[in-house]
Chain A
Amino acid sequence: MAPHPQQSPSLRRTVLGRLSLASVAGFAFLLSACTSTPKPTPLTAEQRELNLQSIDMVHARIKQRHFDPEKVGPAWDAKHAEMRVKVEQAKSMPEARAAMSELIESLQQTHFGILPADAYEGTESEEPSTGDKTTGDRRASGEIGLDLRRIGNDAVVTHVEPDSPAAAAGVKPGWAVESVDKRKVAPLIARIDKLSAGKTAAPLVAATMLQTLAHGEVGTPLDYTFRADTDRTVRVAITPVLPIGKAQKFGNLPTMYLKTSRRIVPPGVGVFAFSIWFDPMKVNSELEALLNECTDCQGMVIDLRGNIGGIGAMAMGVGRYFIDKPDQKLGTMIQREGKLNFVLNPAAKPYTKPVAILIDEVSASTSEIFAGGMQDLGRGRVFGTRSPGAALPSIVEILPNNDRLHYAFANYISFKGQTLEGHGVIPDEPVAPTREALLAGKDPVLDAAVRWITAQSASGSPSNNH
């Protein structure tokens, strides 16, 4: 029998990779608590020493660079001393990492975390997946090509990737996952609630953990049971393939995968979606193509649902297409050494018609910087559910034990002065998807945005977003 997704080490690699940008505090620890891993190998004296060097580097680096010196004062030093003892006494890498994660988690902020070295194994393929399970690195964890969100007490399919294994299996939006390889999902949801309760950016943590149900070992079928339309039960085996999208290798981050889509929906609204803020050339060119195809459109939708962030500066790169005046900014990054403004330079042919931005509880980091800034500028009306409030500029460094330290070095304030961290972006029009609407083939969030754009067009106020 195939390993349950919650038990797959490779699954953990993928999820950590997917989440590394948001790097929710303590997430690695949470996830390991949610999975049963093989018996860990005892540490050698050398590994123990490297772990001690690593926790010292974690302490020193964050103390040196945290944007709020008060956060890393005597209490931070004391916690380091306490956790250093635990690292010294740790009998395995997971124990050592747990102690380091506990130190980091004491900050109670996003974008701080330990990424295990094994999260980088088998994720180095630079080739986009063709969906062919027989090619590529089979050690790499795979996906079946659907997005899941918590709706009520269900894990509901909100999006099925075209040409994916899930699409081939006939899975539809609105279906609820009941079990994977005969393991019931309901207890997992309850456990996620318990583990994520009270955590920083808990909705993001929970949503990302839920998403693990759509991942598994490449080439190994998973037996899914869905509650489909009219509550009939559908049982289907779906085989994960290599991650879908264009592989992105950026600095010390694990390989990430960029998916983009552009389309025009009735009565003439452009919709541009992308999964992560990487590969600015690709994202910019896809957006430019849509703007060129959509010159007669009534407006544009930027769909950032499920987009966990990426390169912060790309928010400026995309935002500049929608402003026609210089000297506007999305917000300001504040670090110990000074402040930097996220400035927008108008594109040569700026788009001046209405712009709607779609977000959800997974739209983190750069997605929040973009959505919050455009909202503040009055140049984008935001639809969906509140974003997680995980928006600290950060960096990933390699630790002596070869794990990676993800840490924030700056705070970010939106144009109107709102701290995004811990608050998130509040939609102008809160709209949550419902299972019934998804089953009916509708997308309530997108539909609301299209209605607004159409109304704007009819009222003759092309860019009035409020």
Chain B
Amino acid sequence: MKLSAASNLLAKSLLASLVLCAGTARADEPAKAPAAPAAAPAAAPAAEENLPAAKDIYEKYLTAIGGKDKLKAITSRQMVMTVEIPAAGMKGTVSMFQIPPAKAYSETDLAGMGKFMQGSDGEIAWDSNPMSGARILSGKERETFMRGMRFDSEWNYEGQYKEMKTVKTETIGDKTAYVVEMISNEGNKETRLFDKDSGLLLASRATATTQMGEIPTETLFDDYREVNGIKMSFKQTAKMMGNEMKTTVDKAEFNAEIPAAKFELPADIKALKEKADKPATDAPAENPTEKK
């Protein structure tokens, strides 16, 4: 899981669900054939003179947040966060639990909306809320979700991105950032902006794949604090489709024991899986809703 973007996946789905009056989503596009595992990212030359190589920028970032060794040693993470959509006057709380390599569970409670739950048992990624119901993610949406939930995606970037290049510098507030474009093994483009001085991640830009459509997203990261020797952003602002969602980390803890039951599939997701696993002959021969 990307340490600095802990709540970002959730923010995308929530903002789409709430402000935009829409449910969280599953990929509209068919799943692509798995890309061949990438070796190291292509050593693309810097696009502008005097810009450092993307790999160097990323390594500086990993050092800035605590170093690879500490990241590799993480056995779990749990967080409590507050999410807010200021323009709409909405607020809620998020509880998130993760263990490597890609088990996760999050629960978001928003006044007037009910509970939004997402998770992964390491293989099956799922989503459940009162708008879209319970569903198993598939295709590009699953790929994006699982990659985001992977604990090693932060430090093992060479295994996650097939291409990285530094394209320019950009000013964010009073800071100068290196702009690094990254292409994932699945072909998704992501842009990350790293502080020229501290090396920390200041912003990321990507397009979220949801069941409802593609949602271009920009997330700003602020208020870095150290937790168990690892620096992480405690304030994030996600901007998408003209709306803004703020996430504040209220409590974060690494390496605490989390009961395995936390990552078990909920009953309704299990039922969906069983239904999907049934032989096709069990399916009804005709869909009566199509009769004319």
**Measuring CB to CB, which residues of chain A are less than 8 angstroms from any residue of chain B?**
64-65, 248-252, 278-281, 284, 311-314, 316-317, 320, 323-325, 333, 335-343, 345-348, 352, 366, 377-379, 393, 395-398, 409-410, 461-464, 466
Q: Is the CB of A348 within 8 A of B271?
A: yes
CA distance A421 to B138 in the complex (A): 34
B242: interface (CB < 8 Å): yes
Which B residues from 249 to 273 make CB contacts under 8 A with A? Answer: 268, 271-272
CA distance A343 to B21 in the complex (A): 11
B16, B135, B210: the one contacting A345 at CB < 8 Å is B135
CA distance A366 to B131 in the complex (A): 13
Given that A395-B87, A398-B89 are contacting pairs, would A348 and B212 also be in contact in the complex, using a CB cutoff of 8 Å?
no
- Chain B residues with CB below 8 A from A336, complex form: 242
The proximity string for B residues 21-42 relative to A, scoring 1 for CB distances below 8 Å and 0 otherwise, is 1110110100000000000000
CA distance A341 to B24 in the complex (A): 11
- Chain A residues with CB below 8 A from B212, complex form: 340-343
Q: Can you name 13 A-B residue pairings with CB atoms under 8 Å?
A: A65-B242, A250-B111, A251-B90, A316-B22, A337-B242, A338-B241, A340-B215, A343-B132, A345-B23, A345-B132, A352-B288, A378-B290, A378-B292
Q: Is the CB of A338 within 8 A of B133?
A: no
Q: Is the CB of B288 within 8 A of A463?
A: yes
Task: Apart from A317-B130, A393-B21, list 9 A-B contacts with CB within 8 A.
Answer: A249-B112, A313-B18, A324-B287, A336-B242, A337-B240, A340-B16, A340-B22, A397-B87, A464-B292
- Chain B residues with CB below 8 A from A64, complex form: 242
CA distance A324 to B288 in the complex (A): 9
Cβ-closest chain A residue relative to B87: A397
**Measuring CB to CB, which residues of chain B are less than 8 angstroms from any residue of chain A?**
16-23, 25-26, 28, 85, 87-90, 111-114, 130-135, 210-216, 240-243, 268, 271-272, 275, 284, 287-292
Given that A281-B130, A320-B132, A320-B133 are contacting pairs, would A396 and B242 also be in contact in the complex, using a CB cutoff of 8 Å?
no
Chain A binding surface SS class: loop
- Chain A residues with CB below 8 A from B133, complex form: 317, 320, 345-348
Q: How many A-B residue pairs have CB under 8 A?
A: 138
Cβ-closest chain B residue relative to A280: B130
Q: Is the CB of A343 within 8 A of B23?
A: yes
- Chain A residues with CB below 8 A from B26, complex form: 343, 345
Cβ-closest chain B residue relative to A377: B289
Given that A335-B242, A338-B213 are contacting pairs, would A248 and B20 also be in contact in the complex, using a CB cutoff of 8 Å?
no
Q: How far is the CB of B290 from chain A (nearest CB, A)?
A: 8
Given that A313-B17, A313-B21 are contacting pairs, would A464 and B291 also be in contact in the complex, using a CB cutoff of 8 Å?
yes
- Chain B residues with CB below 8 A from A342, complex form: 22, 212
Q: Is the CB of B89 within 8 A of A251?
A: yes
- Chain A residues with CB below 8 A from B211, complex form: 341, 343, 345
CA distance A379 to B292 in the complex (A): 11
Q: Is the CB of B113 within 8 A of A280?
A: yes
Q: How far is the CB of A347 from chain B (nearest CB, A)?
A: 6
A250, A324, A378, A464: the one contacting B112 at CB < 8 Å is A250
- Chain A residues with CB below 8 A from B241, complex form: 335, 337-338, 340
Cβ-closest chain B residue relative to A350: B289
CA distance A461 to B286 in the complex (A): 13
Q: Is the CB of B88 within 8 A of A316?
A: no
Given that A333-B21, A352-B289 are contacting pairs, would A314 and B242 also be in contact in the complex, using a CB cutoff of 8 Å?
no
CA distance A345 to B133 in the complex (A): 7
Cβ-closest chain B residue relative to A397: B87
CA distance A64 to B239 in the complex (A): 14
Given that A336-B242, A378-B289 are contacting pairs, would A316 and B213 also be in contact in the complex, using a CB cutoff of 8 Å?
no
- Chain A residues with CB below 8 A from B214, complex form: 338
The 3 residue pairs across chains A and B that have the minimum distance between CB atoms: A312-B21, A252-B89, A280-B130
B20, B28, B85: the one contacting A393 at CB < 8 Å is B20
Residue with the highest number of chain B CB atoms closer than 10 Å, among A65, A313, A339: A313
Residue with the highest number of chain B CB atoms closer than 10 Å, among A278, A279, A337: A337
Q: Is the CB of A341 within 8 A of B112?
A: no
- Chain A residues with CB below 8 A from B287, complex form: 324-325
